[in-house]
Structure 1
Amino acid sequence: MSEQQIPSRLVFRVPGVAILAALLLAVCAAPVAFAAPALAALLLIPLAMIVWVVRVRTTADADGLIVRGVIGRKVLPWESLKGLRLTKRAGVKAVRSDDTEVGLPSVRVRHLPALSLVSRGRLDDPTEPVPSDETQSDVADQPAQTPADAE
């Protein structure tokens, strides 16, 4: 059996290809921006998009989560987290012990098994079936059947 390798760190971020969309917007907005001096501010929109793509991310490691926004960052140790809350749009928010919530940029519901691995079991993996005590005790109480018993 192969042993499963657990990554030491995961980074959830917007793909860098999104910068191309911002550059395309800048090229399209350039003729309009240079038409009048006041419209030059339109070029700030693609610049803001590029800064957002480069800065915003969530990093998960053995110590906890680091949530980085356009301005500032928050460090959330695993011990300070009560759990995770799922949003209507498949997003994830971290719930602190004092019931405050912190949005996790670029983390989606499909990433929860990976977060469970990186957290070293501090967060439960919702995709793993939880064996119930009744199911285990029913199986343990029944004698094993051999093919000869079935006849």
Structure 2
Amino acid sequence: MVQILLIDDDSTIRLLLERTLKRQGYDVVCAGNGEEGLVKAKELHPAMIICDWVMPGVSGLQVCRQVKSLPDLATTFFILLTSLGSVEDRVKGLDAGADDFLCKPIEMNEFIARIRAGLRLHQLSQDLTEQKQLLEAELAEAAEYVSSILPTPLKHNC
């Protein structure tokens, strides 16, 4: 089951989104602030993080930057929830590493569609990483084989 981390300091929004996601069949873990969200993200490595931008303490933008800076979490799909609607704010969020935005008030059909789209992209990223690792292993094996069949004098000159 796909795991989604939901970070929002507003318990009403958190509960509404959690129920909506669970009805869609997702495993949802919630955090009530940015600090708690970062701890859970590092523990769980969720496929997706949905995070409110404006929170006391560690903001959603700070959570996003920290998550995207960690190699184990860099491909986690990150959606920022915001009531900030200016182009400058969206640019700031994208520059911090956000993959998508949802503006409040949240329209539930769009919310679910963006979740599905983000999870498709996350899965493609995971598949690409696996294929890259397989190709690198095959390339190393091929290089080892070529090295083993080279005449001895050539091995030392390479």
Q: Which TM-score bucket, shorter chain as reference?
A: under 0.3
| TM-score, length of structure 1 as denominator length | 0.23
| Higher strand residue share | 1
Tell which structure's C-alpha radius of gyration is larger.
Answer: 1
| Higher helix residue share | 2
